């Protein structure tokens, strides 16, 4: 794994979340909002009981939001292509889930690029892309927000 250089003026210095698809680094983001995981609560009211008994129900997993990103110079990320594999707005078609669902690794890194914690988002797909305003004199990033819809998540 190549370390991210940390000399002053390097735009990747403040990016603390490394994004990997299929084991390759495809970009870095400053902020990551990981999916919320919760369970529905099922209740059972036994005969003669004055209060219900509660059980864990179906699990719900929210979306992952990545903000303020830069794409790897040598990566083939193609957020637009990934989004269009799910829904091609030009042709009005919906893709095959086997083609657009991917396992995405979000690696939290220190300022030297060393991985601290890894989150594996299983069967994720790009469901929203939000770009920043274009300003020729600004050093802001082009990819403002990327939203990933997730089926399951592991932490390791």
Query: For residue 98, which phi and psi values (nearest 5 degrees)?
Result: -65, -25
Give 129's strand partners.
146
Domains defined for the chain, CATH in brackets: 17-155 (2.30.110)
CA angle 39, 42, 40 (to 5 degrees): 20
* Residue 8 pLDDT: 40
* Residue 46 pLDDT: 85
**Residues 107, 19: Cα–Cα separation, whole Å:** 6
* Residue 62 pLDDT: 95
**Residues 155, 133: Cα–Cα separation, whole Å:** 34
**Residues 14, 6: Cα–Cα separation, whole Å:** 9
The answer to whether 97 touches 85, Cβ cutoff 8 Å, is no
156 residues of the chain, pLDDT tens digit each: 455 444 444 444 566 888 888 778 888 888 899 999 999 999 998 888 889 999 999 999 999 999 887 776 654 456 667 777 888 777 778 888 888 899 999 999 887 778 889 999 999 998 888 876 666 666 655 667 889 999 999 998
* Residue 48 pLDDT: 82
* Residue 24 pLDDT: 81
* Residue 12 pLDDT: 47
**Residues 146, 31: Cα–Cα separation, whole Å:** 11
* Residue 151 pLDDT: 93
* Residue 106 pLDDT: 94
* Residue 7 pLDDT: 41
* Residue 16 pLDDT: 82
The answer to whether 15 touches 28, Cβ cutoff 8 Å, is yes
* Residue 155 pLDDT: 92
């Amino acid at each position: 794994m190549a370390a991210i250089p940390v000399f002053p003026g390097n735009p990747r210095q403040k990016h603390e979340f490394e994004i990997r698809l299929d084991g390759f680094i495809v970009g870095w983001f400053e902020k990551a909002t990981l999916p919320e995981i919760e369970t529905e609560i099922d209740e059972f009211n036994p005969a003669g009981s004055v209060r219900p008994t509660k059980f864990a129900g179906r699990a719900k997993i929210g979306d992952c939001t990545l903000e303020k990103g830069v794409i790897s110079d040598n990566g083939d990320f193609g957020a637009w292509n990934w989004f269009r594999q799910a829904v091609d707005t030009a042709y009005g078609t919906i893709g095959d889930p086997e083609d657009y669902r991917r396992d995405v690794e979000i690696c939290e890194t220190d300022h030297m690029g060393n991985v601290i914690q890894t989150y594996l988002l299983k069967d994720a797909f790009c469901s929203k892309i939000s770009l920043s305003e274009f300003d020729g004199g600004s050093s802001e990033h082009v990819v403002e927000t990327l939203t990933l819809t997730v089926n399951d998540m592991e932490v390791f």
